[in-house]
Amino acid sequence: MLKKTKKIESQIKDKELVEIRRMEIVKAAVDIFVRKGFHKTTVREIAQKFGMSIGTLYEYIRTKEDILYLVCDYIHSSVGERVKPSLKMSGGSKETLERAIHAYITIVDEMQDYIIFLYQETKSLSYEARKYIFRAEQEMAGIFEEILKRGVEDGTFSIEKKDVSLVAHNIMVLGQMWAFRRWVLQKAYTLKQYIKTQTTLILNELASRNTKPD
C-alpha cells in the first residue's frame, strides 16, 4: 500500500507537529463537512472547532480545498483500515469472499455519512487530489479482485478472468449502495438481511455455470 499522499505545503517546519495538527483539523472539519457540505462550511467554523485561530489553521494548510483533501483522504484510509483486518484469506475462497463482503458492507453502514460525503464532494477537489482518491478506491477493489482471482483459479467461481476486476467493482458499488439508497433500502432491510441477500445474489452470480450467452 503506497503512502503516496499528495504533498500539501505548510509554513511549519516541525513535520511531526504538522501531522498532529492536521489530524486535529480533519477531526474538526469532517463532521461539519458531512453535515453542511463543503461549500456551506466556512473556514471560521472549522477553526472554531479546531480550537485554534484562523491564522494558526492557515499555518498548516494553504487553501480551504486542502482541508477537503485531507478529510477525503482521512475518510478513505479510515475505511481501508477498518476493512483490511477482516480480509485474512484464511479458509476457502467462498468463505473469504463472504467475510469480505460482510466486512465491507458493515463498514459502509458505519461510515455511511462519510461515504456519501466523499462521493458528493469529490468533484470539488482538484484533478490531482481526485486522482489520488481514485487510486485509493482502486486499492480497495484490488482486495476483492485478489479474492475473486483465487476463487476463479481454484474453481470456486466461474467468471472469466478478464471480468474479475469488474465484479470486484460491482461488489463495492453494491455495498456503497446501502448508503446511497438508504432512503429506500434501510426501510425494507436490516443491515444483516441486506448483507445476507446481497451475498447470496453475488454468490449466485459467481456460481459455476455457462458464463456467456452464445
Partner DNA sequence: TATGAATGAGTTTTCATTCAT
Partner DNA sequence: CATGAATGAAAACTCATTCAT
The residues that touch a copy of itself, with contacts defined as CB under 8 A, are 11, 37, 39, 44, 116, 119-124, 134, 138, 141, 159, 163, 165-167, 169-170, 173-174, 177, 180-181, 183-185, 188-189, 194, 196-207, 209, 211-213
Residue 184 binds: one of DNA, a copy of itself, none (C-beta under 5 to 8 A by kind): a copy of itself
Alpha-carbon distance of 130 to 116, in angstroms, equals 16
Q: How many CB atoms lie within 10 A of CB 3?
A: 5
Alpha-carbon distance of 85 to 110, in angstroms, equals 16
Q: Which is nearer to a copy of itself, 23 or 193 (CB)?
A: 193
For 166, the grid coordinates are: 469488474
Q: Does 56 bind DNA (CB under 7 A)?
A: yes
For 155, the grid coordinates are: 474453481
Residue 209 binds: one of a copy of itself, DNA, none (C-beta under 5 to 8 A by kind): a copy of itself
Contact call for residues 29 and 72 (beta carbons, < 8 A): no
DSSP state of 53: -
Q: Does 11 bind DNA (CB under 7 A)?
A: yes
Alpha-carbon distance of 108 to 116, in angstroms, equals 10
Using CB under 7 A, which of 19, 23, 35, 42 touches DNA?
A: 42
Q: Is residue 7 left, alpha or beta, with left meaning phi > 0 and alpha meaning psi from -120 to 50?
A: beta
Judged by CB under 7 A, the chain residues 65 through 94 that form the site for DNA are 65
Q: Does 124 bind DNA (CB under 7 A)?
A: no
Could you list the residues that contact DNA (CB under 7 A)? 11-14, 17, 21, 40-44, 52-56, 58-59, 62-65
